[in-house]
Chain A
Amino acid sequence: MTRRRGRIAFVAAAGTAAALGLSACGGDSSASGGTQLTWWINPDGGGSDPEGGGQVQLAKECTAASDGAYTINFQMLPNSASDQRQQLLRRLASSDEGVDIMSIDPVFVAEFAEAGFLAQVPADMKSEFTEGVVPPAVTNAHWKDTMYAAPFWANTQLLWYRESVAKEAGLDMSEPITWDELIEAAKKVDTEIGVQASRYEGYMVWINALVEGAGEHIVQNPGAPGEELEFGLDTDGGTQAAAVIQKLADAKVGGPALGSTNETTSLDMFQNEKAGFMLNWPYVYAALKGAEVDWMDDLAWARYPRTVQGEESKPPLGGIEMGVNAASDDPKAAWEAVACLTSAESQTTYMLGTGNPAARTEVYDDSEIREQFPMADQIRTSLADSGPRPLTQYYGDVSSGIQRVYSPPGSVDPDTTPQQAESLLHAVLKGDALL
């Protein structure tokens, strides 16, 4: 090849590469002219099957409903909430335009919003995302009085039990019961209580529900800078919460490996009839039905137990909020897509398909939902009365610090553990300690 021909070839190659690059940069427009949106979803029962009843199916249906205005593509996040946060954080911190819509665990909305990673909900869409939605999920969508997310589905825990075991233990399940009563009953009939006490987020969910149920909040002044955060662990309520964990561990009714239990192991214990009681999310109903256990007629559910007698319990709140990346090329189209994805119709489809409870209350009146979820009313009430986990931009530190001090559950001492946890959190947030 002569030098001249070589130069021409180089220029042609560079031109092609530049053209490809430009078309990649402008990749928001499809051939049909609609906006391409990428939705980062957490894994759910629907998998990546567009007919599976999960988020992928909703992406397909909303794309079709948009009539070419936008196409929703999806990317799968890791399984655990912590890993999902990490993956999203890294992308958001680098202003990754490949993220438009995100399925976010409610506890991370504050952190993402504080960092400036989330686009605000357009003023004219706020009512669409809040009316008819369970209030705690709406609270979790806000940060410092600004709405940054749209509630998609809202999770809560119920007390699952075997009617025959409760009857044998002499428990009146038509009335609210306390953790003390539950532990005594389990001891009496030599059964176990499935809880989540491994050192992970599920344990924080339990600790928070106990503290909230005792009328306290783990973080007293949400929104304050790290060094000024105040905690409600070393209080009467916090002490009572720690006493429940100590009592359950001492009574040895949490299973042989209490410090290693998560949602799955709790369900295994319950399914294998080792446990007569279990605190877990509503997905377990579909799981037990799917496993075709022969004692489904004996399965029952009740509201989350009270931490203290006379004080209403505060069931845990989970679920998913939907956020839009502040660096998205087309946030307007993204919010329009979110409106479709979080509509009552979408949430009904999603709840039927995956068993994950809707954030919109009207969904629970749907006849098909009521047929498939006989505990629908209990879920709706629990959601409305739930106690969200702390709203703070330092949620990750707060959760990790508490998990560390409260682990293993057998080491929890109401007289010392809450105070130790507060000391550690203060030191960590001042930058004086590792975590």
Chain B
Amino acid sequence: MSATPPTTQAAKGAKSPLSDRSRSEQRLGWKLAMPAFIVMVLVTGYPILQAVWNSFFAYRLTDPDNRRFVGLNNYLVSFTDQVFWSAMWMTVLVTIITVVVELVLGFIIALVMHRIVLPRRTLRTLVLIPYSIITVVSGFTWLYAFSTGTGFVNQWIQWMPGIDANYNWFGGFWSSLFVISLSEIWKTTPFMSLLLLAGLAQVDTSMEEAAKVDGASWLQVLIKVILPSMKAAVMVALLFRTLDAFRIFDNIFIMTGGANDTSSLSMLIYRQTIDRTEIGLGSALSVILFLCVLVIAAVFVKAFKVDLAEGRG
């Protein structure tokens, strides 16, 4: 039995049965995905568009009849106000400090957990405890620890010579920043270490062995073999934590309420939208924060040139 090869004409013009099925499957795929897509547009897209729309108006929740179109004025007010730049500075500072420290600490913890064989599960559970505590609770815990008069930190340092035992940790910008960052780092380092631990598990051990056989030092193996192999995991960890830290709110709200220029962008949005019920201004600030987050995400993806879908470095 001999198969008749398709004519050139048929091959060029006629639809093959496979192609029809493929199109049909494609249509089915769209139909199946449509409900989820519509829900996503409604749940995610609508609030974003509404926030953008609101940002062009000046109005308060307590005075809804006095809604005025002001164009880009809310953005102009934001960008020309020192309070905005102070909040941006605080946000960027907290983000850089916490993410860098968490990356270093998280990597050390991940390395330790990766090497330890026996109580690995117990260790992971213990390490995760701070992360399982809600931020409000951990924030209050650190607040009380550093409170003047009653906090145990001041009671501890009073034994050190030349140290003020009644130091007011929340009385200035830098000391407040220190405690806020400490609380963030304490809580979120476990999350960072677990993400990095997952990355460590992906490292090809034969490459490590080969490098060691070739005489590479521990540090060289770490820098030349382990870290490049973990590029995707590091990127995911950095991306998640940077975006998270950039939206810092709870710890600042609890510890300083934004006093001493410690207000973050999220705190600023809260104050305009919830405290003052200035919906327009709050929306403009929300859009700005949203755009900042988008830029951060884009920069990370571009800088690391990682194909997230493939998970390759």
Q: How far is the CA of A89 from the CA of B83 in the complex (A)?
A: 26
**Is B206 at the interface (CB under 8 A from chain A)?**
no
Known contacts A259-B171, A434-B78; A407 and B259 CB within 8 A of each other: yes
B277: chain A residues at CB < 8 Å are 89
Within 8 A of A (CB), among B68-113: 70, 73, 77-78, 81, 83-84
**Contact A434 B83, beta carbon cutoff 8 Å:** yes
Known: A89-B62, A259-B171. A408 touches B148 (CB 8 A): no
Interface presence of B271 (CB below 8 A): yes
Whether B150 pairs with A397 at a CB distance below 8 angstroms is no
Contact B62 A93 (CB under 8 A): yes
A330 close to B (CB within 8 Å): no
Q: Which residues of chain A are within 8 angstroms of B260 by Cβ–Cβ distance?
A: 407-408
Closest beta carbon of chain A to B153's beta carbon, Å: 13
Residue of B nearest to A200 (CB): B257
Taking the complex as formed, is A393 at the interface, i.e. its CB lies under 8 A from any CB of chain B?
yes
Contact of B168 among A200, A256, A400 (CB under 8 A): A256
- The answer to whether residues A433 and B81 also contact, given A82-B275, A256-B149, A257-B171 and a CB cut-off of 8 A, is yes
Does chain A have a CB within 8 A of B191?
Answer: no
B135 contacts A by Cβ under 8 Å: no
Q: A260 and B62: CB pair below 8 A?
A: no
Give the residues from 166 to 207 in chain A that come closer than 8 angstroms, CB to CB, to chain B.
198-200
A116 CB → nearest B CB, Å:
9
Distance (Å) between the CB of A131 and the closest chain B CB?
A: 31
Name the A residues within 8 Å of B272 (CB-CB). Answer: 434-435
CB closest chain-B residue, reference A199: B259
Number of B interface residues in the complex (CB < 8 A): 33
Does B63 belong to the interface (CB within 8 Å)?
yes
For A373-401 the 0/1 string (1 means CB < 8 A from B) is: 00000000000000000000100110010
| In the complex, B238 has a CB within 8 A of chain A | no
A434 touching B281, Cβ below 8 Å: yes
Contact with A along B263-278 (1 / 0, CB 8 A): 0000010011011110
A114 on interface, CB distance cutoff 8 Å: yes
Chain B residue nearest to A393 in the complex (CB): B62
Instruction: Please give the number of chain A residues whose Cβ is less than 8 angstroms from any Cβ of chain B in the complex.
Output: 33
Q: Which residues of chain A come closer than 8 Å to B81, judged between CB atoms?
A: 433-434
In the complex, which of the residues A114, A258, A268, A400 contacts B62, with contact meaning CB atoms closer than 8 Å? A114
Contact with B along A68-100 (1 / 0, CB 8 A): 000000000000001000100110010000000
Is B58 engaged at the interface, CB distance under 8 Å to the other chain? yes
Are B148 and A396 neighbours in the complex by a CB distance under 8 Å? Answer: no
- CB–CB B150/A268 < 8 A: yes
Q: How far is the CB of A14 from chain B (nearest CB, A)?
A: 22
A246 to chain B, nearest CB (A): 16
Residues in A with CB closer than 8 Å to B299 are none
| Residue A297, interface by CB 8 Å | no
B61 interface residue per 8 A CB criterion: yes
Rounded to whole angstroms, the CA-CA distance of A198 and B276 in the bound complex is 20
Contact among B61, B63, B168, B276 with A257 in the assembled complex (CB-CB below 8 Å): B168
CB distance from B20 to the nearest CB of A (A): 34
Within 8 Å by CB of B148, from A89, A90, A256, lies: A256
Compute how far the CA of A433 lies from the CA of B64 in the bound complex, rounded to whole angstroms: 20
Given A400-B276, A408-B260, also A432-B77 (CB < 8 A): yes
Q: Is A354 engaged at the interface, CB distance under 8 Å to the other chain?
A: no
Give CA–CA (A112, B62) in the complex, Å: 8
Is A115 engaged at the interface, CB distance under 8 Å to the other chain? Answer: yes
Cβ-defined contact, B58 with A431, below 8 A:
yes
Known: A268-B149, A393-B62. A408 touches B276 (CB 8 A): no
Across-interface contacts of A432 in B (CB, < 8 A): 77
A111 touches B62 (CB 8 A): yes
How far, in Å, is A269 (CB) from chain B's closest CB?
8
Determine the chain B residues whose CB is within 8 A of the CB of A435 once the complex forms: 83, 271-272, 275-276
Given contacts A111-B62, A400-B276, A433-B77, contact A257 B166 (CB under 8 A): yes
Complex Cα–Cα for A268 and B147 (A): 13
| Proximity bits, B43-56, A CB within 8 Å = 1, else 0 | 00000000000000
Q: How far is the CB of A431 from chain B (nearest CB, A)?
A: 6
Which A positions have Cβ atoms within 8 angstroms of B? Answer: 82, 86, 89-90, 93, 111-112, 114-115, 117, 198-200, 255-260, 265, 268-269, 393, 396-397, 400, 407-408, 431-435
A-B contact pairs, 10 of them (CB 8 A): A86-B275, A114-B62, A257-B147, A257-B148, A257-B166, A431-B58, A431-B281, A434-B77, A434-B78, A434-B81
Apart from A199-B257, A199-B258, A259-B170, list 19 A-B contacts with CB within 8 A. A82-B275, A89-B61, A89-B277, A93-B62, A114-B62, A117-B62, A200-B257, A256-B166, A257-B168, A257-B171, A259-B259, A260-B168, A393-B62, A397-B276, A407-B259, A407-B260, A431-B58, A432-B77, A434-B272
